[in-house]
Structure formats: structure tokens, C-alpha cells
Structure 1
Amino acid sequence: MKQLLTLTLLFATTILIAQDETTTPEKKFTFEGSVDAYYQTYLTASDDSGQSFGTAFAGQTGFALGMGNIIASYESGKVGAVLDLVTGPRGAGATFSNDIVDGIVNQAYAYWNVSEKTTLTMGRFNTFLGYEVIAPAANFNYSTSYLFSHGPFSHVGLKADFALSDDFSLMLAVMNPWDTNDTSFTGEYSFGAQLGYSGQFLNFYYDSGNNGGLGFEVDYTGGFDVSEDLFLGINAAYNDNDGSGFYGAAIYPQFATSDDFSIGLRGEYFGYHDKDIDDLPSVFAATLTGSYTVDSNLIIKPEIRLDSWSNNDAAYFDADGEDASSLSAFTLAAIYRF
């Protein structure tokens, strides 16, 4: 009898341990980030002219800092959270310097994998619009495009991601208005949607409170492997806010010459439109970038950029301080990712 009771207790304990092992969620913590700096000099103007291309980030001459970026992620079973912190000029520009803890928080959100095909995310997350992102380690070109610079950098709200099939995906979101990254006091909200198919994404944005008018944006982001070594990225967008806004398109051919070195070109056409103004200025910008990776972590990026405006002879200053419609620069950037 005593032996039977012992065997029974041992069997019950084994079942409880097995159940505990199957029901206790696996916990996982990850930590990553990047640090970047650059040197920039103008080829067609004086470095002390106090001007820049007019796109986001990397707007200083001489030696300058980009940003420090730290991302901490924690996952336990079906739920998790991400905290993305930034500092430096690029981080300040991405967070407008003063919203959410003085421009330190880039992203902060919690998520729930409701099922294998559905994920809910709530908090502050980077935008789904456009081809480029804030962190330079994730972009091929170091400088940023006009399309990226004129779009929202982040949103605060709730989004739902659905894996409809192996190829199709859908995202739906309700968020604070455009560039309202902390608290909205207007009572207005924005709505977003993204339809994805095999790496191609069609994005939609609607905002009834965008600068007091009716605002929307349609954006296509995608790319194709032309060959084993050649990739072609594409971005196009049209934005309207009560009759005015912007439009543009950019291509990103990138060729890998070896495992460590690639060269890429960003060719972008960007312009403004207004129902009450004809012949607004537009710009063609060409950026040639090399990318050399050292020991998987350090990326060296030499870059030459030329922006040329139509119908805007006073967009920049030349080397003599006279009005100029174009500006070119050489930039050397170093990005360390961990």
C-alpha cells in the first residue's frame, strides 16, 4: 500500500511538472541598437553657408553626430513589449525634440499575438508609410529622401496585423492625428491601412484633423530582385491636405559587388501641388552611395548627392553666396550596429 501511494504521488508530480513545462510561456529578452556619425562638405557651396538640402537629418557640415539608438524587446508567450530610445541630432529630429520624455522615446509599444495570423499592437510605433526609416543602419543611403522627410515619422495608436496567406498581409490602424506623437487634445483621429503582397505594399492614410483640413496619402513601397546581385527598390506617394500637398517617386537600384561592398543610387523626383497656385517648384535629387561592411557590425558609407530644383532659383546659395537652384555634397558616414 505504501509503495502504491509513493508511485501514485510520483506519477502525479510528473504530470504536474510536464503540465507546468507546457503551460509556462518562454521568456525572451533582446537588446540591439546602433551609433552613427558623419563628415559632410558641400561641393558647390561654402560649408559655412548655413544651408542644407531640406530633407531630414544629416544637415550639418564638418564632423557631426547622427544618433545613438537602443532597442530593448521582451517577449513572454504571446505577448511582448518594445522600448526604442534615441539620442543625438538625428534622434531629436525624429522625435521633434520635445515630445514624450524630451525626445528620447522613438518607439514604445506592447503587442499581443492573438493567433498565428493576427497581432495587435498599441503604443507609439514608426510609420508604415514610405521606403526609408529613421535608423540609418536600416537604410542603404545615409541621407534621406524628400518623400521620407515629408511623411510622418511615427504614430501613436492601435494597429492590427493580419497574415491572410503566405503572400498576402493586411494592416489596419486607428491613431492620433499626423505627427501627434504624444497626446491628442483635438478629439480627432487618423486611420491607416496597408495591403501587402510578396514584399510589395500599398499604404493608405486618412486624417480628418491634419492641419485643420481633410488629409490623405496613398503610398506604394516595394522592390524586386532583378538578379542575384541587383535589387531595385521603388517608392511613390501622393499626399493631399484640403487641396494642397506633395507627390513624388523614387527608385533605389542597389548592386552588390561582393559580400562586403555594395553600391546604390537613389533617384527621386518630388514636387508640391496646390489648387490655388500654379507651377509650384519640384526637385530632382540623385544620391550615389557606397556601403562597405567591416566585420558584420561597422558600415562605412561614402555618398555623393546632387539636388536640383525647377522654378526655384533661390533654393540654395552657391560658393559666392549667390542664389542657386542646385546643391551638391560629399558625405562619409560610419554606422556601428550591435
Structure 2
Amino acid sequence: MRGVGARAARGLLIGLLAGACLGTPRPCAAAPSSHPAWIDEVTLDGFLSTSYSYNFNRPASGTNQFRVFDFDDNTFKLDEFELVAQKPAAKARDAGFRVDLTVGSSVPRVTAAAGLFRDAAGTAGDLDVHQAFLSYVAPLGSGLRLDAGKFITGHGYEVIDGYDGWNDHATRSLLFGFAIPFTHVGLRASGAFSPRVSGMVMLVNGWDVARDNNRAKSLGAQLTVTPRPALTLAVSGMTGPERNGNNHDRRDLLDLVAIYKATSRLTLGANADFGTEANAVGPGQDGGWSGAAGYARMVLTERCALSVRVESFSDGDGVRTGVPQRIREFTLTPEHRLSPHLLLRADLRVDRSNQRVFDDPPGLTRTQPTVLVNALYSF
């Protein structure tokens, strides 16, 4: 009996131990991945901007004159929703890509390139691909980055808003809208000569054309220098024929940018542009334009900031705005960050021309005062 009892006890103990072992969580073998490995290398980011704009002139046309994206008066708008898919190329022999898909009732209509989401009549809709390019880092020096496809311009102080960077003001400067291009399609090479000096060259179809409008190509270059950690200087230029079917009359651009972080709270910036185009006014009559802008941004608290922009744009031949004029503008932008991803801001802006060009019923006036409230979310 004792033998039978011992065997029974041992059996019960073994059963309890087995049950305990079976009931104890154990690490499981990793399940085989159900998707290709490259998917893990691709990131998705996005950006959403919505706004309301009001023009105190109450233009009969319902349009704000000489504005870039905020051209509609007294309207709530979905400015832009951007979704970016990319595989970054960071080190030698890395290959990657980037695609920026945008929809909205403001930005795509302006930035769409001819031949891609802009028809032969010059009309664009609410969809655009800001960028779509392949990248490869060649093992030369510290790494020579090569891009092929469509990319935003490197000219100017301001940018087309996106998840990885937006301007201090909701409205765009005159220089951004009339002095420089938005995008290019072609080849671009960039790299660093030293920790303080970098450069870029590009061979492209031209200004804002996805399908070339003539037989010539345009050449661009940029040099960026950081003489001090708080100071960045950039000079860039571009040259090439840009008009339809014209292979000879060059459009030349010189762009200068300076950014100075004066203190941990105050950042100052400056931008200047000089452009000419051969025979733009008429045979033997070249056209030219120039402008300058100054920027200041003061961080008031962890969530609040105040930005100021002052600029002047001269289009004496009317080749960029369609009217021989000089326009000046002043913009004041308070902002408040509601959350790490959500920003609320307002642009108080006044434009003034030396000509009567602004709609002010029942006639025209030299001044255009507006206010715009903007909310943007990035992820």
C-alpha cells in the first residue's frame, strides 16, 4: 500500500509540476514576418493645414491680390494635406526614395508643375506630387548624394510647408511667390566639403516644369557656409531659358539667405533675390526684378512665439506680377502650440503697392489689409 501510495503521490506531484510548467508563460519562437523586409525601412509622415482668411477691402472678386496660397477671401479652406513616404539614404552606398503627395484647395493649385497635374492651359487642381525622387549616396568624400526626379527648390528663405518644416508665417512672402521657382525636375548632387561648408549643383528642366517646355536645360548651384554655430549663410543661383519654345533667352537668378540665432529665444533672418530675363519685355528689352525680406522670431514661452516679416519686391517691368510696380508688405504672426503636434497661429498682414492694384469696391486702392487664422498638425 505504501508503494502504491508513493507512486500515486509521485504521479500527483509530477502532474502538478507539469501543469505549472504548462501554465507558465514562455517566450515563443518569433513568427515569420508576413511582409517584405523593406517595408520596415519605409517611414510615413504627414502634415495638415487648414485656415480662414478675411480681406478688409472686401474685394468684389473674392480674391486677395498678389498672394501665393491665401488667395481666397472670407473662406474656410483645407490648404493642404501632405503624406510623405520615404526610405532615407544616409550613408555611402545607401539607396532610397521620397514621395510627397499633397491634396488641398490652396497649395496644389499653385505649386503643380506644368506637365504633371497642370494641363496645357495652365490649370491645376487639388492634387499634386511636390516631390518624387530617387536617392543614392556615392562613396566619394564624406558622401555625395545624388537625387533624380522632382524636388522642391533650394532657393529662398521660405518653404512649401511640410511635416519636416514650415514657415514662421502662415502667408507666404512676395519673394517666395514671385522671385523664385517652386520645384524642379531633373538631377541634383549635394555633399559636404567640411563640417562648415556644403554645396549643391543641379541640371533640371527649368522653373516649375515637369515636362520641359523647350530644348534647353537649366543649371543651378548653391553654396552653404556656417562660419559660426549660430550663423548660416547660403548663396544660390540658376540660369537657363524658361519660356515656351525659347531655347536662347536666359532667365538668371541670384538668391541670398542668412539665418542668425541671436539668442536661445531670438532668431533673425534675411533674404534677397535678383533676377533678369532676356527679351522678357520685348525684342531687345530685358526684364528684371529684385527684392529683400527681413525676419525676426521671438520665443516668448514654451508654447508661444511672435514672428515679424518686412519685405519689398520691385517688379519694374511687370514680368513677374504682370504690373510694373513695387510692393511692400508687413506681417505680424502670434502663435500658440496647443499640443506637441498642433499649432495655432494668426497672420496680420498689410500689403502696399505704388500702383492702385488692390480690389477695393467700387474701385482700386494701393493697400490690402488681411487677417488669416491657421491651424496645422504634423505627424
TM range (shorter): 0.7 to 0.9
CA contact (8 A) 1:237 1:247 kept: yes
TM-aligned CA deviation for residue 317 of structure 1: 2.4
Describe the SS at the equivalent of 1:164.
strand
Equivalent runs, 1:314-325 vs 2, <5 Å: 315-318=357-360, 320-325=361-366
Q: What is the rounded CA distance, in whole Å, between the counterparts of 1:317 and 1:209 in structure 2?
A: 31
Is 1:270–2:313 an aligned residue pair?
Answer: yes
Describe the SS at the equivalent of 1:92.
helix
Mark the CA change 1:201 to 1:27 in structure 2 (over 3 Å): closer, same or farther. farther
Is 1:173–2:202 an aligned residue pair?
Answer: yes
Describe the SS at the equivalent of 1:147.
helix
In structure 2, list runs of 5 or more residues that go unmatched: 1-36, 119-124, 227-231, 279-285
Is 1:240–2:268 an aligned residue pair?
Answer: no
**Selected match of 1:65 from 78, 91, 96:** 78
Alignment match, 2:129 = 105
TM-aligned CA deviation for residue 50 of structure 1: 2.1
TM-aligned CA deviation for residue 96 of structure 1: 4.9
Q: What is the rounded CA distance, in whole Å, between the counterparts of 2:172 and 2:134 in structure 1?
A: 28
Q: What letter matches 2:184 in structure 1?
A: H
Is 1:206–2:239 an aligned residue pair?
Answer: yes
Alignment match, 1:84 = 100
Q: What is the rounded CA distance, in whole Å, between the counterparts of 2:201 and 2:113 in structure 1?
A: 26
TM-aligned CA deviation for residue 145 of structure 1: 0.9
Query: Scaled by the length of structure 1, what TM-score is found?
Result: 0.85
Q: What letter matches 2:220 in structure 1?
A: G
Q: What is the rounded CA distance, in whole Å, between the counterparts of 1:274 and 1:296 in structure 2?
A: 46
**Selected match of 2:182 from 144, 153, 156:** 153
CA contact (8 A) 1:226 1:232 kept: yes
Q: What letter matches 2:166 in structure 1?
A: A
CA contact (8 A) 2:213 2:243 kept: no
Describe the SS at the equivalent of 1:227.
coil
TM-aligned CA deviation for residue 324 of structure 1: 0.3
Q: What is the rounded CA distance, in whole Å, between the counterparts of 1:64 and 1:244 in structure 2?
A: 35
CA offset digits 1:34-85 (Å, max 9, x no partner): 1111111122x11654231312101112212201111111147611000100
CA contact (8 A) 1:224 1:233 kept: yes
TM-aligned CA deviation for residue 177 of structure 1: 2.1
Describe the SS at the equivalent of 2:370.
strand
Is 1:228–2:272 an aligned residue pair?
Answer: no
Query: Scaled by the length of structure 2, what TM-score is found?
Result: 0.76
Mark the CA change 1:195 to 1:244 in structure 2 (over 3 Å): closer, same or farther. same
Alignment match, 1:189 = 217
Mark the CA change 1:273 to 1:317 in structure 2 (over 3 Å): closer, same or farther. closer
Kindly report the root-mean-square deviation, in angstroms, between the aligned alpha carbons of the 2 structures.
2.4
Whichever of the two has the greater Rg, that structure is: 2
Is 1:303–2:360 an aligned residue pair?
Answer: no
Q: What is the rounded CA distance, in whole Å, between the counterparts of 2:363 and 2:260 in structure 1?
A: 42
**Selected match of 2:154 from 122, 128, 137:** 128
Is 1:56–2:82 an aligned residue pair?
Answer: no
Describe the SS at the equivalent of 1:104.
strand
CA contact (8 A) 1:40 1:329 kept: yes
CA contact (8 A) 1:56 1:149 kept: yes
TM-aligned CA deviation for residue 330 of structure 1: 0.9
Is 1:283–2:340 an aligned residue pair?
Answer: no
TM-aligned CA deviation for residue 108 of structure 1: 0.2
CA contact (8 A) 1:27 1:75 kept: no
Describe the SS at the equivalent of 1:51.
coil
Query: Is the deviation greater in 109-118 or in 146-155?
Result: 109-118
TM-aligned CA deviation for residue 321 of structure 1: 2.3
Describe the SS at the equivalent of 1:148.
helix
Q: What is the rounded CA distance, in whole Å, between the counterparts of 2:108 and 2:371 in structure 1?
A: 22
Q: What is the rounded CA distance, in whole Å, between the counterparts of 2:371 and 2:117 in structure 1?
A: 34
In structure 1, list runs of 5 or more residues that go unmatched: 1-23
Describe the SS at the equivalent of 2:215.
coil
Q: What letter matches 1:325 in structure 2?
A: R
Q: What is the rounded CA distance, in whole Å, between the counterparts of 2:261 and 2:289 in structure 1?
A: 29
TM-aligned CA deviation for residue 273 of structure 1: 3.3
Alignment match, 1:329 = 370
TM-aligned CA deviation for residue 322 of structure 1: 2.2
**Selected match of 1:39 from 52, 56, 80:** 52
Q: What is the rounded CA distance, in whole Å, between the counterparts of 1:128 and 1:154 in structure 2?
A: 9
Alignment match, 1:19 = none
Mark the CA change 1:26 to 1:113 in structure 2 (over 3 Å): closer, same or farther. farther
CA offset digits 1:285-304 (Å, max 9, x no partner): 00111121121111101110
Aligned length: 308
CA offset digits 1:77-105 (Å, max 9, x no partner): 61100010011121222115862597421
Instruction: Choose between structure 1 and 2: higher strand proportion.
Output: 1
Q: What letter matches 1:271 in structure 2?
A: S
Alignment match, 1:15 = none
CA contact (8 A) 1:130 1:220 kept: yes
Percent identity, please. 24
Q: What is the rounded CA distance, in whole Å, between the counterparts of 2:48 and 2:315 in structure 1?
A: 34
